[in-house]
Amino acid sequence: MEKRFADTRAEMGARLAGLEAVIAQLQQQLQQQRAKCMQHREELASQEQESDASAALQKLTVHVSAIHAACGFEKEASADCLRMLEQIEARLDSHLAALAKHEGKKPRDKSNQCSH
């Protein structure tokens, strides 16, 4: 009877060791999957931010295009937002200079402008 008990105990000990090894392996896999999940979440958040920035830039470009057209410029397919803003600024400068000349004042000081 003691031999049978010892054999059963040895068998259960071996099963327990096997199950503990499986549990350790599963915990390691779970940790790896959690790390991958976190990485995918960060990538998704980054893509969403890029998408939001792209949408904001596209919206800004639409508004700048409308102002560009209102200033009397021809619509150019190759004109980007920055180029249109430069043209609008130049047109505003010329109008301000003409207005200042008409009022007998000096044109605005260009030293206060932001550098490009």
The tens digit of pLDDT for each residue in 60-106 reads 999 999 999 999 888 877 778 899 999 999 999 999 999 988 888 66
| Model pLDDT for residues 91-102, shown as the tens digit of each residue | 999 999 999 888
The pTM (predicted TM-score) of the whole model is 0.52
- Using a pLDDT cut of 70, give the percent of the chain over it: 89
Mean residue pLDDT of the chain comes to 87
CA distances from 95 to 8, 40, 43, 74 (A): 99, 52, 48, 18
CA separation for the pair 54, 68 (Å, rounded): 20
Six-digit token pair at 36? Answer: 């991958």
